[in-house]
Amino acid sequence: DTWPKDVGILALEVYFPAQYVDQTDLEKFNNVEAGKYTVGLGQTRMGFCSVQEDINSLCLTVVQRLMERIKLPWDAVGRLEVGTETIIDKSKAVKTVLMDLFRDSGNTDIEGIDTTNACYGGTASLFNAANWMESSYWDGRYALVVCGDIAVYPNGNARPTGGAGAVAMLIGPKAPLVLEQGLRGTHMENAYDFYKPNLASEYPLVDGKLSIQCYLRALDRCYAAYRKKIQNQWKQAGNNQPFTLDDVQYMIFHTPFCKMVQKSLARLMLSDFLSSGSDTKNDLYKGLEAFRGLKLEETYTNKDVDKALLKASLDMFNKKTKASLYLSTNNGNMYTSSLYGCLASLLAHHSAQELAGSRIGAFSYGSGLAASFFSFRVSKDASPGSPLEKLVSSVSDLPKRLDSRRRMSPEEFTEIMNQREQFFHKVNFSPPGDTSNLFPGTWYLERVDEMHRRKYARRP
Ligand code: HMG
């Protein structure tokens, strides 16, 4: 039996709201010190949705845009998975709403349903799609993986870490971004760092400091598990080299806020340093000698370690990760779609030639908690018209699209957040507002009837 070759991401599409609030405006509005959000968190702008948008409309938009752009017939899809933590119905999946898009094609033979665990649902969906394709149940058709979320927090220190968006990915064989087989390092545990027990509200409960520690611990564990697996693969091929960040040309992370990611890359460097032999004299680790012998789990809140690591890893950060944060710093946390928005940003800021043949490491984290470290191998062919070149050029307009959004004042943003609170789960109503604050081609919520049935329309 042969598996389909090179299963991975063939095409992707990113959606974000057409309006944002500037983080310097928010700093002033919230009466916090200048730099707290922009430097402390590394955030520049935050996208947000009006009451006319919900998780269904976001996913409808991103799937339709992808299918129209790549001109794939709707019956060429055999699986569609949705990863989201923006739950508006405890039973009915977003996937069922997306089936409306397939109606005219008559294609109803489409496996897959929604997957939820905080920001990890998108990655779980991606893994499910790839697993299907490498199983006896695969029928030869493509899979679509959709992740999307509306990340909103109540007034307070977490609010500037919100955002909203969705990413749709076409999964298939002979992909330019191949999921590397056998290489997933996973860590799962029971934690109450961020969760949504209040079903009458869009807002999570969050223990910010604990969530950061949980994220970093999960990163340590996943990286160690991944390292072990790749070294085992190498050993079987006769290579006894240790695996380090040198073997990863680009590194993307789930991004709750950009500063967290810079610290995370630095942490992987520490992990490499601590697991390397004590006789290692590597210029790369200059400034870290004092920390030899430390245990990773003793360093979560050590500011001296933080400072030395950020300095030692700066060059590596600029080369491997910084470009991937473009969408995150300009739009905020998109929860399940955050990691895949980072992937799109990375592709938007490099040429196909630069990316060809490289390995992209990926860390996915969802509170509660579920996390994985995995990797993509980029195809070597970057010639004009190649799948890689097509993928890269399809996202090159990302900066221009972000710049075309409308800047809203913190007052307007707060008013819209208040409206979202007021209208959450309201029945028998049509959301107020006109559609001029939506990009052309965006689906929006037209009406919720007295039985909570939702009806959508598409802006021309
Ligand atoms: P806070 O109260 O703003 O924290 O909350 P802070 O006072 O510690 O400030 C943050 C940083 O800004 C600090 O940097 C300050 O020094 C710095 P650090 O010392 O840590 O390096 N700072 C300044 N820098 C420059 N100029 C200034 C200034 N003032 C302060 N003037 C917190 C921050 C992230 C906790 C909060 O926003 C929060 O709770 N956010 C939500 C939770 C979150 O994002 N957690 C991240 C990990 S968990 C995760 O990723 C999962 C998640 O995506 C959910 C899911 O899975 O679905 C959230």
Q: What is the CATH number for 278?
A: 3.40.47.10
Task: Confirm if 442 and 57 have CB atoms less than 8 A apart.
Answer: yes
Q: Encode pLDDT of 386-438 as tens digits.
A: 999 999 999 999 999 999 999 999 999 999 999 999 999 899 999 988 899 99
As a whole number of angstroms, the distance between CA 312 and CA 17 comes to 36
Task: Confirm if 257 and 308 have CB atoms less than 8 A apart.
Answer: no
Which residue type is seen at 211?
Answer: S
Cα radius of gyration rounded to whole Å, the chain: 22
Q: Would residue 211 count as lying in a domain?
A: yes
Which residue type is seen at 163?
Answer: G
Q: Would residue 362 count as lying in a domain?
A: yes
Angle at 62 between CA 327 and CA 109, to 5 degrees: 140
Say which of 13, 81, 85, 202 is annotated catalytic.
Answer: 85
Q: Would residue 65 count as lying in a domain?
A: yes
State what percent of residues in the chain have pLDDT above 70.
99
Give the pLDDT of residue 422.
Answer: 95
Would the CB of 266 count as within 6 Å of ligand 1?
no
Domain of residue 284: give its range: 8-458
Which residues on neighbouring strands pair with residue 407, listed in sequence order?
20
Among the listed residues 16, 83, 59, 12, the one whose alpha carbon sits nearest the alpha carbon of residue 370:
83
96 C-alpha to center of ligand 1: Å? 36
For residue 323, what is the DSSP state? G
Average pLDDT, the chain: 96
Edge-to-edge strand ranges of the sheet holding 19-22: 45-47, 19-22, 406-408
Assigned token pair, 178? 């191949």
Among the listed residues 345, 176, 357, 125, the one whose alpha carbon sits nearest the alpha carbon of residue 252:
345
Q: How far is CA 226 from CA 39, 221, 376, in A?
A: 32, 9, 13
Q: Would residue 398 count as lying in a domain?
A: yes
The ipTM of this complex is 0.99
What is the band of 314 on the pLDDT scale with cuts at 50, 70, 90?
Answer: very high
Q: Would residue 2 count as lying in a domain?
A: no
As a whole number of angstroms, the distance between CA 391 and CA 40 comes to 33
Task: Confirm if 455 and 446 have CB atoms less than 8 A apart.
Answer: yes
Q: Encode pLDDT of 355-389 as tens digits.
A: 999 999 999 999 999 999 999 999 999 999 999 99
Give the pLDDT of residue 1.
Answer: 58
Say which of 49, 59, 119, 342 is annotated catalytic.
Answer: 119
Catalytic (active site) residue 119: yes
Angle at 120 between CA 116 and CA 121, to 5 degrees: 35
Catalytic (active site) residue 59: no
Would the CB of 30 count as within 6 Å of ligand 1?
no
Our mutation pick for probing the ligand 1 site, out of 212, 255, 338, counting the most ligand atoms within 8 A of Cβ, is 212
SS3 content of the chain, % helix, strand, coil (to 5): 40, 20, 35
Q: Encode pLDDT of 278-302 as tens digits.
A: 555 677 888 888 888 889 988 888 8
Q: Would residue 1 count as lying in a domain?
A: no
Q: Encode pLDDT of 45-90 as tens digits.
A: 999 999 999 999 999 999 999 999 999 999 999 999 999 999 999 9
Task: Work out whether strand 77-83 and strand 142-151 pair parallel, antiparallel, or are unpaired.
Answer: parallel
Q: What domain count does the chain have?
A: 1
Residue entry with tokens 């409960």: 205
Q: b/e string for 239-256 if b means 16 or more Cβ within 10 A? A: eeeebbbeebbbbbbbbb
Q: Would residue 3 count as lying in a domain?
A: no
Q: Would residue 173 count as lying in a domain?
A: yes
pTM equals 0.98
Catalytic (active site) residue 421: no
Which residues on neighbouring strands pair with residue 455, listed in sequence order?
447
As a whole number of angstroms, the distance between CA 87 and CA 115 comes to 11
What is the band of 276 on the pLDDT scale with cuts at 50, 70, 90?
Answer: confident
Task: Confirm if 270 and 309 have CB atoms less than 8 A apart.
Answer: yes
User: Comparing 183-192, 254-263, 293-302, 327-336, which segment has the lowest mean pLDDT?
Assistant: 293-302
